[in-house]
Amino acid sequence: MEVVVKEDYQGMSRLAAKIIADVVREKPRAVLGLATGSTPLGTYKELILMHKEEGLDFSQVVTFNLDEYIGLPPEHDQSYHYFMNENFFKHINIPPGNVHIPNGMAEDLVGACEQYERDIKEAGGIDIQLLGIGANGHIAFNEPGSSLGSRTRVKALDEKTIEDNARFFEHMDDVPKFALTMGIGTIMDSRRIVLLANKANKAHAISITVEGPVTALVPATIVQLHPRATIIVDREAAVELERPYRDTPHDLSEAVAYIQRQKGKDS
């Protein structure tokens, strides 16, 4: 697990976008796992800019979103279908048929979850999964206490999550209480993970995720066990971390250069 602390939200978003863009350039038919919420918005804006100004091509990319509320139709302005289309998909050249978001209006919700897992497998698995983190340490809608091996399923939302989401709805009774979500096991199957966090209200969750024990009570801690996970935070979200962390990802070329310098000293 690698932790990168950027000075601000813009720097954090730019780095995340660069990592994703590098994956797409290297593998044009990359499978991206995507997240919603305010945290990844900056990353999507940077990717849109790369598409428009640098020709970053999404024409073969396949995407799978982490979650969706149950009971909100795709056209609802608080559905994640609507969020992704407005903030990302309609601004890039991705074919609509390559976009996958859980169907929160499915008559057979269990069947829809099982099909989602099959769709991910048939696409070749997720190459890079973008994650946010809740103040209680949830990833996607895997609330505290979720099985660390869980798959895509129906999940009841914690009261804390419902309270946090209430600001987006006119009435408290309108806030969805259930969602379809990728499971923790599904997320961990991704070949690479990039987890983002900004602002001080995420600082405690980040400190436990990075430096605490792996526990189902803080689902995000599972990323410690992923072979290629990068956590990118801003200064505010990093304030409770005990150890110092770099502001750039580790680069293999640094190690190679170090070896060459050492050889030069010995010659």
> What positions carry a catalytic annotation?
67, 136, 138, 143
Helical axes 9-26 vs 41-54, angle rounded to 10° = 50
Q: What is the DSSP letter of 6?
A: E
Q: Which residues pair with 69 in a beta bridge?
A: 179
Q: What is the DSSP letter of 29?
A: T
User: Which H or E run includes 194?
Assistant: strand 193-197
In 3D, which of 31, 55, 34, 30 has the Cα closest to residue 43? Answer: 34
The distance between the two most distant Cα atoms of the chain, rounded to a whole number of Å, is 74
- Tell me the C-alpha to C-alpha distance, in Å, between residue 149 and each of 27, 28, 176, 222: 28, 30, 25, 10
The total number of residues shown for the chain amounts to: 267
Q: Helices marked H in 55-158 — which ranges? A: 80-87, 109-122
